[in-house]
């Protein structure tokens, strides 16, 4: 399948790598199919490109790179639609918001994406506990962990 995207030009998408979000993302209920795209091949920051809307893409990251003690505490019910029996199967991603000054980028740790890669199903879950935020400052967070940006 070929998607004509404004960012990547023609993007050839293997249908077997398309992840379905049956409930979409919050605010994007109608767009349910995404593919992870990693132009650099480094696996640090990836694009999550909508298959349905070529202009729609999110930057995502592995939250453990950003916050070592990050945990996603969800109920079985929240994962019900993902067919996850073993939590270690799950991949977790967080969406980054990147403003004009990218050093001020933030990570949405309160609404992580949980993906079951085996079934190619995903969901955005809402964490209700205190202490997580939708605007975790990425670079300040890394500094606080003793990892200098760019190290």
* Cβ–Cβ under 8 Å, residues 149 and 142: yes
Contact call for residue 114 and other proteins (CB under 8 A): no
Q: How far is the CB of 2 from other proteins (least distance, A)?
A: 18
d(CA 60, CA 10): 21
Contact call for residue 137 and other proteins (CB under 8 A): no
Contact call for residue 21 and other proteins (CB under 8 A): no
Contact call for residue 28 and other proteins (CB under 8 A): yes
d(CA 109, CA 136): 7
Contact call for residue 108 and other proteins (CB under 8 A): yes
Q: What kind and span of H or E run contains 52? A: none
Q: How far is the CB of 11 from other proteins (least distance, A)?
A: 13
Contact call for residue 27 and other proteins (CB under 8 A): yes
* Closest alpha carbon to 122 in 68, 69, 64, 60: 60
Beta bridge partner(s), residue 95:
60
Query: Residue 12's CB: how many other CB atoms inside 10 A?
Result: 8
- Look up residue 127 and give its two tokens: 């964490």
77-96: which residues touch other proteins (CB under 8 A)?
77-78, 80, 91, 95-96
Contact call for residue 126 and other proteins (CB under 8 A): yes
User: What is the Cα Rg of the chain in Å?
Assistant: 15
Contact call for residue 22 and other proteins (CB under 8 A): no
Residue with tokens 């999110």: 58
Enumerate binding residues for other proteins (CB under 8 A). Answer: 7, 17, 25-28, 36, 38-47, 56-59, 61-62, 65-66, 75-78, 80, 91, 95-100, 102-103, 105, 108, 110-111, 117, 124, 126-128, 134-135, 138-139, 142, 147-151
């Amino acid at each position: 399948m070929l998607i004509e995207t404004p960012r990547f030009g023609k993007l050839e998408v293997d249908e077997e790598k398309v992840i379905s979000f049956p409930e979409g993302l919050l605010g994007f209920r109608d767009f349910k199919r995404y593919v992870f795209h990693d132009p650099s091949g480094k696996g640090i920051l990836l694009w999550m490109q909508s298959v349905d809307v070529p202009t729609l893409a999110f930057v995502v990251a592995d939250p453990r790179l950003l916050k070592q003690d990050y945990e996603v505490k969800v109920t079985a019910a929240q994962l019900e639609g993902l067919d996850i029996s073993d939590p270690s199967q799950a991949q977790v991603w967080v969406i980054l918001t990147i403003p004009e000054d990218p050093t001020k980028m933030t990570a949405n740790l309160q609404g992580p994406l949980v993906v079951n890669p085996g079934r190619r199903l995903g969901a955005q879950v809402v964490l209700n506990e205190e202490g997580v935020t939708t605007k975790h400052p990425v670079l300040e967070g890394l500094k606080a962990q003793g990892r200098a940006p760019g190290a």
